[in-house]
Chains A and B, each alone.
Chain A
């Protein structure tokens, strides 16, 4: 294969020359072929470290006097390289002689090779996701770490991993779910692998021991990586992957799905060095930032950006900045942030015209300009961008996007029309309410009315200059106005456009109505919870003392609960929603609530209130930074968590008088969540002195509660203001509070908050995982079979299995379920676990026993054991007291668990029956048959089959009786000494006992002690004897047609004679077989009398060790595949 000529300085180290001409040499790499000396080992190491793995053959070009070699071809096979070599000699070598200068020769060769290369590569330029090189690495990755191909490698980096105090140079592989490292130095392999979801911390560190490294901590261990070429790149990718893992722990649906749209991206050719996934992830980061800055809907993807200037008509300037383009928006943001700050959002749906302006020689600032004309219901305006270096490309792209927007708009409108017609026909009529303040006006306070009017004028003035609605030029001017509080009448429009809710609304015509119609007729827990809180939202406002307000509130909350089942309804949303309804008409309020829940306060209201906890953690960090004295105190009081939850969840609406807090909401919709932090810091700052004097958390809370309820707003019209606002209670005006907050803490940026959220989310999610683990263990530890450590180990491997199976985890945190019910295993996995952990799992009978136990403990028959059942199933064979273990052993050999069809062929029963009198022989014969048993039994115990067929054969009544008897048997097994009435336990027939004893024998087959075997034989004989004794009570039967005939009968009747349940639900033992039986008492007594057997059944298995082995084996077994 020809390659682009590249310089090679050291031609002979590591390589051996095979052939040579004047201008060319053919070499093969040392370590290939037959030589297996030290040098090959070294070369292997080098290749591993540098990830070179070069093709083992190459051709170099060199002119006699030059010291530089050029590599012109390489190959994986000798055959191919020889073909190239021949071609060179035939076509090139002769021509070279005609050149005078050696430089010319080299030029010619290079030229020639490149042209050959170009022709062969043409047509190869398929739009492939990943480069070949990357694919090869991805293959290697899945091979080394035994990870399936479906696990996608994102990127890989050269670095060293500190194993103890020694750095190992190797490769760090980052995939969607795993972090892996591999090194191969002088034949010593270092390999490690862990899941992102197990990471509890990641940090850049720099210590003497581990200089300049990245530290990744999991619950078990800290890992240090260093010597990165670009540490920050690696670090931020790690952070991003961890965050993805955390988010999917919060909510499964958000786990990573790759975005194929990226392939069709409209942008110019981006160099495709990194993997497709890496590019995808990078694009996500950029899009995310873009959406946050311009408040765009969450499916908006950044397409590209270009430097340009924007003509700002209000001050007649050309502002330097950058234009961003995505599917539905054109946005602009100024470069110089301080003085000429301006940003602009133009929805493509409003864009009517894009024109190029031809070069105007007199005015260079208008070079390469375009004018975008936007029009919507409110106004029409032009926006002039200039100095766009790649104007034609931009215009093409905008027009392409526009054509798509129009198409989709038409679709949307048509759909909406249908909806309206449909809902008009449906029974319950309702209409969207206008802002409730217009329906329920409060008493007019002259001064307030005047203030409001004055403000409205100021805003109108601003609109005239800067435009209104979404496409307003946003400058520091508007920020000033917002800080002073938005006048009531304008709140809706301004909130809608600043928060980005207007974007959502305009893209979803008819959506709200549809959701409401659907939500109101359904019954759900969310709806019940909402109903309870409707009158407890903003009871002080007359609108909510009336059906009109209550109904509107019900509609938006129920519609939202339906829209987002991850949240459903969370208390606090009712308070926020009711305030929104006061100022906004119903549909607008719904979209504001949506934006608030999904964009501005992510995860706040979900079932575990994670977002609010994350932000509380951030507040604590900020307090530590800005109010260090108070931080010490607050930590001592342990109070920050209690006070701030309501601040965050309701944006102060339930802690301050709402007409004051609504000013915070103004800023919040303009500036995002950072406003809550700034305000919170300011409130604490203001009360620092008093708080420092507090003796307990109650006092501190009282101080803050008093202060907050005393935040007044003389410009607002609230109902409380008139009644309970005496002068003594007035602490501070909301305007001052906000102004101060901005002055003191205004530099806290959204980016900073986002960065902190990343870290804090990791912490909170992992704490929750820890807690849920603790909860599970607490639920189970009471059973007393396994220790905490053992449970932890077991849980961790079950968890790993569930994660790697990518099983759809059932809806988490359903209150009616116990925490351990989310962790469940199938039979296939149980079988492996059982074999690894249980002392009964060592022989051939392991699977047989595992299956019986599985049936016994799978209470709901769903084919899964939940974690509690799993623990029982394993520990009752491994750690329970001997009597319990023996009861289990007895039980699993009773019908319906051990059915007649499960037992061996008639032949075996015959044998058993005949030799019953001579026990020793009996055991010998079993030994002899052992192999055949294993062969026969293996296929017939295929679990799923028998499970299904059983279900299908069973008539309804039988299966009820069966499950009743199963639960009875479970109770027997679980009962500890004495409590259970042994009389109700079914007796065991001979064929069942034969199977049981055979299994006992096999359980012991790895025991070497002669004494043990002797004991088994002895006890077996004894029990057989007992069975015979009981037989003698059935005198009316002839001796000759005893057990043999009975056994035969039992085997012929493949369905059960034996499942007609008695009143306890236990299958009655049919009378024909009753001739030979033993009872559970007899069984226990006999076995417990034999010392070696008791010893075996009372030895506590080392579960943790077993788990450790199991883990290692799985890792290496997969490895060998």
Chain B
């Protein structure tokens, strides 16, 4: 990958329905909060140009549907992601509990080469609301247990920590991309494709 070329970072936002994924993305990109978003069906996406560590990058943010039944349809979005943002609602403990399953599902579907080192970022959203259902400590503990995932407490409504969180996301995504150009087991099925040519090769040698 040529380094002078503009870098494209792909970021996927995951989390239960209604935790504020769309709001976070839009707050970051348009600096506005609206309570008029529709529930995301399938997926939505926005891009933003930014400078990370003196390098111009295009961040492509993919917003996904949160309802359980759409979880397994995410395959198409996950592939090629450089960073995965997990979001939960600090006032709704259930959304915290399902983080594990979102993380697992992502790792399974995206199958990055080094799952344990893949950059995740956790956002606890809606900190402007009371009462808190999940304490900061509890969220941090979870992050530690998952190989020190960075954790931010955000409010998309009050634009709290959103910028910082996405800066971190961008940086992690970029460093990951630099470290390992070839992050993914590209098409694991490829091995199969090369088999016929192999066998034809051996056939040739027989003929000789």
Query: Which A residues are within 8 Å of any B CB, using their own CB?
Result: 529, 532-533, 535-540, 570-572, 574-575, 606-609, 613, 638-639, 641-646, 649-650, 654, 696, 698, 701-702, 771, 778, 815
Q: Closest Cβ of chain B: how far from A734's Cβ, in Å?
A: 19
A contact residues around B39 at 8 Å (CB): 533, 536-537, 571-572, 574-575
Contact A571 B73 (CB under 8 A): no
B contact residues around A532 at 8 Å (CB): 17-18
Look across to chain A and name the residue whose beta carbon is closest to the beta carbon of B94. Answer: A528
Contact B43 A537 (CB under 8 A): no
In the assembled complex, B56 has its CB within 8 A of some CB on chain A: no
Contact B36 A815 (CB under 8 A): no
Q: Closest Cβ of chain B: how far from A515's Cβ, in Å?
A: 22
0/1 per residue, B168-195, Cβ < 8 Å to A?
0000000000000000000000000000
Contact A529 B17 (CB under 8 A): yes
A539 to B34, CA, bound (A): 10
Interface-lining segment among B64-72, B114-122, B126-134, B147-155: B64-72
In the assembled complex, B157 has its CB within 8 A of some CB on chain A: no
Look across to chain A and name the residue whose beta carbon is closest to the beta carbon of B60. Answer: A698
Contact B79 A638 (CB under 8 A): yes
Contact B76 A642 (CB under 8 A): yes
A970 to B45, CA, bound (A): 48
Task: Say what secondary structure dominates the interface of chain A.
Answer: helix
Contact B37 A536 (CB under 8 A): yes
In the assembled complex, B35 has its CB within 8 A of some CB on chain A: yes
A contact residues around B75 at 8 Å (CB): 641
> Would you list 6 pairs from A and B whose C-beta atoms are within 8 A, ordered by A residue?
A533-B39, A535-B35, A571-B41, A571-B65, A608-B69, A654-B41
Look across to chain B and name the residue whose beta carbon is closest to the beta carbon of A537. Answer: B38
A contact residues around B42 at 8 Å (CB): 642-646, 649
0/1 per residue, B67-101, Cβ < 8 Å to A?
11110110111010000000000000000000000
B contact residues around A646 at 8 Å (CB): 41-42
A529 to B95, CA, bound (A): 13
A877 to B139, CA, bound (A): 41
Picked from A539, A609, A702, A778, the residue with its CB within 8 Å of the CB of B38 is A539
In the assembled complex, B7 has its CB within 8 A of some CB on chain A: no
A539 to B73, CA, bound (A): 26
A661 to B30, CA, bound (A): 26
0/1 per residue, B12-56, Cβ < 8 Å to A?
000001100000000000000001111111110101000000000
Interface size on B, residues (CB 8 A): 28
A contact residues around B72 at 8 Å (CB): 608, 771
Contact B35 A539 (CB under 8 A): yes
A1056 to B191, CA, bound (A): 61
Contact A649 B41 (CB under 8 A): yes
Contact B45 A538 (CB under 8 A): no
A575 to B43, CA, bound (A): 15
Contact (A642, B77) CB under 8 Å given A572-B41, A608-B72, A815-B68: yes
A contact residues around B69 at 8 Å (CB): 570, 606-609
Q: Closest Cβ of chain B: how far from A572's Cβ, in Å?
A: 5
A570 to B76, CA, bound (A): 20
A539 to B43, CA, bound (A): 19
Contact (A613, B73) CB under 8 Å given A532-B17, A696-B8: yes
Contact A650 B41 (CB under 8 A): yes
Look across to chain A and name the residue whose beta carbon is closest to the beta carbon of B64. Answer: A642
A contact residues around B68 at 8 Å (CB): 607, 815
Q: Closest Cβ of chain A: how far from B128's Cβ, in Å?
A: 17
Q: Closest Cβ of chain B: how far from A652's Cβ, in Å?
A: 11
A contact residues around B77 at 8 Å (CB): 642
Contact (A638, B76) CB under 8 Å given A570-B67, A609-B69, A702-B47: yes
Which A-B residue pairs are the 5 nearest by beta carbons? A645-B42, A539-B36, A646-B41, A646-B42, A532-B18
Q: Which of B36, B37, B40, B69 has the most CB of A within 10 A?
A: B69
A535 to B77, CA, bound (A): 26
Contact (A645, B41) CB under 8 Å given A571-B65, A571-B70: yes
B contact residues around A607 at 8 Å (CB): 68-69
A contact residues around B8 at 8 Å (CB): 696, 698
Q: Closest Cβ of chain A: how far from B129's Cβ, in Å?
A: 14
A537 to B38, CA, bound (A): 5
Q: Closest Cβ of chain A: how far from B42's Cβ, in Å?
A: 3
A contact residues around B41 at 8 Å (CB): 571-572, 575, 645-646, 649-650, 654
A613 to B76, CA, bound (A): 13
Contact B67 A529 (CB under 8 A): yes
A638 to B37, CA, bound (A): 27
A771 to B10, CA, bound (A): 26
A1058 to B10, CA, bound (A): 63
B contact residues around A537 at 8 Å (CB): 38-39
B contact residues around A608 at 8 Å (CB): 69, 72
Look across to chain A and name the residue whose beta carbon is closest to the beta carbon of B79. Answer: A638
Contact A571 B17 (CB under 8 A): yes
Look across to chain A and name the residue whose beta carbon is closest to the beta carbon of B37. Answer: A536
Look across to chain B and name the residue whose beta carbon is closest to the beta carbon of A772. Answer: B72
A contact residues around B10 at 8 Å (CB): 698
Sample of 19 further A-B pairs with CB below 8 A, known A533-B18, A570-B67: A533-B39, A535-B35, A536-B18, A536-B37, A572-B39, A572-B41, A608-B72, A609-B73, A638-B76, A638-B79, A641-B73, A641-B75, A644-B42, A645-B42, A649-B41, A650-B41, A654-B41, A698-B8, A698-B10
Q: Closest Cβ of chain A: how far from B112's Cβ, in Å?
A: 16
Look across to chain A and name the residue whose beta carbon is closest to the beta carbon of B43. Answer: A642
Q: Closest Cβ of chain A: how far from B124's Cβ, in Å?
A: 18
Look across to chain A and name the residue whose beta carbon is closest to the beta carbon of B70. Answer: A609
A1037 to B38, CA, bound (A): 82
A795 to B26, CA, bound (A): 46
Q: Closest Cβ of chain A: how far from B25's Cβ, in Å?
A: 13
A contact residues around B70 at 8 Å (CB): 571, 609
Look across to chain B and name the residue whose beta carbon is closest to the beta carbon of A608. Answer: B69
A contact residues around B40 at 8 Å (CB): 571
Look across to chain B and name the residue whose beta carbon is closest to the beta carbon of A640. Answer: B76
B contact residues around A575 at 8 Å (CB): 38-39, 41
A contact residues around B73 at 8 Å (CB): 609, 613, 641, 645
Look across to chain B and name the residue whose beta carbon is closest to the beta carbon of A538. Answer: B38
Q: Which of B40, B41, B45, B65 has the most CB of A within 10 A?
A: B41
Q: Closest Cβ of chain A: how far from B146's Cβ, in Å?
A: 17
Q: Closest Cβ of chain A: how far from B144's Cβ, in Å?
A: 22
B contact residues around A529 at 8 Å (CB): 17, 67
A775 to B10, CA, bound (A): 26
Contact B38 A536 (CB under 8 A): yes
B contact residues around A535 at 8 Å (CB): 35
A572 to B36, CA, bound (A): 16
A532 to B70, CA, bound (A): 16
B contact residues around A613 at 8 Å (CB): 73
Contact (A639, B76) CB under 8 Å given A572-B41, A609-B70, A698-B45: yes
A608 to B43, CA, bound (A): 16
Picked from B17, B37, B47, B67, the residue with its CB within 8 Å of the CB of A539 is B37
B contact residues around A609 at 8 Å (CB): 69-70, 73
Contact A540 B36 (CB under 8 A): yes
A698 to B60, CA, bound (A): 7
B contact residues around A538 at 8 Å (CB): 38
A606 to B68, CA, bound (A): 11
A642 to B73, CA, bound (A): 9
A645 to B79, CA, bound (A): 17
Q: Closest Cβ of chain B: how far from A970's Cβ, in Å?
A: 23
Contact A701 B17 (CB under 8 A): no
B contact residues around A540 at 8 Å (CB): 36
Q: Closest Cβ of chain A: how far from B170's Cβ, in Å?
A: 16
A644 to B45, CA, bound (A): 14
A237 to B153, CA, bound (A): 59
A311 to B122, CA, bound (A): 70
A571 to B42, CA, bound (A): 10
A1118 to B79, CA, bound (A): 48
Q: Closest Cβ of chain B: how far from A537's Cβ, in Å?
A: 7
A572 to B43, CA, bound (A): 12
Look across to chain A and name the residue whose beta carbon is closest to the beta carbon of B68. Answer: A815
A contact residues around B36 at 8 Å (CB): 539-540
